[in-house]
């Protein structure tokens, strides 16, 4: 079955989506939203690319490896942005999920 082959990466993408969306939501509650604006945008971008990667893995698309490479790059960029605020729990969790997702996407 196709999904079994990619299940670890699909799970990492799903975890990353949840962590990114949660971080973006929590970051909107910060007093200085302007300071967090880049990170919030990257959280949303990262979640969107993870969703696309999951969809292409689920359908065994011939474009899957290119999108997973992009997902890896976006996850690393998002992780770097979140690591700047790793004193915030939501950013730390997001960075960790992004790093894990990047590692799994690199394997596809």
Q: Which CATH class is domain 2-106?
A: mainly alpha
Please tell me the predicted confidence (pLDDT) of residue 4: 85
Please tell me the predicted confidence (pLDDT) of residue 95: 98
The domains of the chain are located at 2-106
Q: Is residue 1 very low, low, confident or very high in pLDDT (cuts 50, 70, 90)?
A: low
pLDDT in tens, 84-103: 998 999 999 999 999 999 99
Q: Is residue 5 very low, low, confident or very high in pLDDT (cuts 50, 70, 90)?
A: confident
Does residue 61 have a pLDDT over 70? yes
Please give the C-alpha separations between residue 29 and each of 24, 49, 58, in angstroms, as whole numbers: 9, 24, 35
Average pLDDT over residues 13-31: 96
């Amino acid at each position: 079955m196709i999904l079994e082959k990619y299940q670890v990466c699909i799970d990492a993408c799903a975890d990353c989506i949840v962590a990114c969306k949660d971080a973006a939501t929590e970051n909107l509650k910060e007093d200085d939203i302007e300071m967090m604006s880049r990170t919030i945008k990257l959280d949303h971008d990262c979640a969107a690319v993870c969703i696309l990667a999951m969809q292409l893995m689920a359908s065994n698309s011939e474009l899957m490896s290119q999108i997973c490479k992009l997902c890896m790059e976006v996850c690393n960029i998002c992780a770097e942005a979140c690591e700047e605020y790793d004193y915030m729990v939501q950013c730390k969790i997001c960075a960790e999920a992004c790093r894990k997702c990047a590692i799994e996407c690199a394997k596809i």
